Amino acid sequence: MVSRFTTTKLIKPVTLKQLVQFGQPPLNTATLLDSARYTKSELPVRLARRVKAFQNLPFIVGTNPYIMNVYNLYCNSFNVIRNFPEINDDETDREFTQLLKQTVNLHAENIPTLARGFQECKKYMSNEAIKRFLDDLIRARIGIRLIAEQHIALHERSDPNFIGIIDARTHPENLIRTRADFVQSLCEVHYGSFPEICITGQTDTRFAYVPVHLEYIIAEILKNACRATVELSQKIGRKDHPAIEVTISRGKSNIGIRVRDQGGGISAKDLPSIFEYSYTTAKQENYSGNVLGSVTTMSMQAGFGGPIAGLGYGLPLARLYAGYFGGSMNLVSLNDHGCDVFVKLKQINEILDEVEI
């Protein structure tokens, strides 16, 4: 790796409420400049922490070309943002916003790249050490992306329901239907058929959330459910695929989504491993050309935290996204029958003071 990197500056905890305040109407030049200055001051500290974490990896792991590539991206992003001029007018704000967009795009494939790197290096680190590194990295990346894309969205969003990247009236039924149509289309291309996906429950639910996070979670769950259902049908000669059932429920401050399939479930020996990185029941193949492997990449806007499918990162990532705002994701399997996946999400407007980024 390059020369050692040191940072002594502490990350200042910021609640989601503080970040959202930059997007409160009416937006004006002063508000946008405040947001830009905050973003410029906060991102280098967080990027520096990630650089330091990479440098603390075992030497042979850090020199893996895939891992080195991501490390260099973090180093370069740190230097570019830290050295950007002071933001004192509209012009420098626009230039800074454009820089953030470019940076977000450059980091879009980080997780798939790291997945390949750690697959090659897994004999040099324990599974627990890899999990700790990736959990910390991905949580940090979610925070980095929220800060960066919140500022970008302030310049681009015109929908009054949005405060930056937060949709105050996220409609889970519409979002699930859009992801379902997409996954079904991919499933048909890959397998020649697909199961129906039925959405029931409190379908009129609206709540405040970051919709792109929910898009990824739902896409990953539906992709797994469709694959399991169709593959079991092919295995046992089942002519008609049983439908996948998605049920929406709403409490005072929580939203529940249950996805139920009849795809055969997960064996008892495999069940403890389903949320481990690199664990997958899929055949090992070139997933860059696998049409179902592309679903999660396409289901989530490019950012500092990009998803991957087929290398065993889908469910761990989905659970991290579900848990970031205090929610949860759990799976119950009935072997030889199917799985229920339960997602519980907290309404963002209920936890603005609690969530630190």
> Cis (ω within 30 of 0) for the bond into 307?
no
> Please, what is the average pLDDT of the chain?
85
Of 314, 321, 313, residue with least CA distance to 114: 313
Q: Are 246 and 198 in contact (CB under 8 A)?
A: yes
Strands 244-250 and 328-334: unpaired
Q: Token match 């990295």: residue?
A: 137
Q: Is the pLDDT of residue 11 over 60?
A: no
The residue type at 155: H
Record: fold of 166-350: Heat Shock Protein 90 (3.30.565)
- Beta bridge pairs of residue 247: 200, 258
The residues near 27 (Cβ < 8 Å, ≥ 6 apart) are: 154
Q: Are 197 and 244 in contact (CB under 8 A)?
A: yes
- pLDDT of 285 reads 47
Of 161, 156, 142, residue with least CA distance to 212: 142
Q: Is the pLDDT of residue 111 over 90?
A: no
Q: Is the CATH code 1.20.140.20 the one for domain 16-163? A: yes
Confidence of residue 9 (pLDDT cuts 50, 70, 90): low
- pLDDT of 65 reads 97
In the chain, ranges of CATH 3.30.565.10 domains: 166-350
- pLDDT of 21 reads 75
Q: Are 311 and 287 in contact (CB under 8 A)?
A: yes
pLDDT tens digits along 15-68? 677 777 777 777 788 889 999 999 999 999 999 999 999 999 999 999 999 999
Q: Residue 88, Cα to own-chain centre: how many angstroms?
A: 33
In the chain, ranges of CATH 1.20.140.20 domains: 16-163
Q: Is the pLDDT of residue 313 over 90?
A: no
Q: Are 213 and 321 in contact (CB under 8 A)?
A: yes
- For the record, the structure tokens of 343 come out as 């997602």
Lowest-confidence region among 53-67, 75-89, 153-167, 247-261: 153-167
Confidence of residue 166 (pLDDT cuts 50, 70, 90): confident
Task: Centre a 10 Å sphere on the Cβ of residue 327 and count the other Cβ atoms it contains.
Answer: 23
pLDDT tens digits along 327-355? 999 999 999 999 999 999 988 877 766 66
d(CA 308, CA 180): 18
d(CA 302, CA 314): 16
Of 140, 133, 139, 142, residue with least CA distance to 115: 133
- Write out the E strands in the chain: 162-163, 166-170, 197-201, 207-209, 244-250, 254-260, 328-334, 338-346
The residue type at 341: V
pLDDT tens digits along 191-228? 999 999 999 999 999 998 999 999 999 999 999 999 99
More confident position, 93 or 273:
93
Taking residues 169-197, report their average pLDDT: 93
Q: Is the pLDDT of residue 89 over 90?
A: yes
pLDDT tens digits along 244-284? 999 999 998 899 999 999 999 998 888 888 888 866 655 55
Q: Using CA of residue 317, residue 318, residue 323, residue 329, what is the dihedral sign?
A: negative
- pLDDT of 310 reads 53
Q: Is the pLDDT of residue 70 over 90?
A: yes
The residues near 74 (Cβ < 8 Å, ≥ 6 apart) are: 47, 50, 51, 54
Share of the chain above pLDDT 70, in %: 84
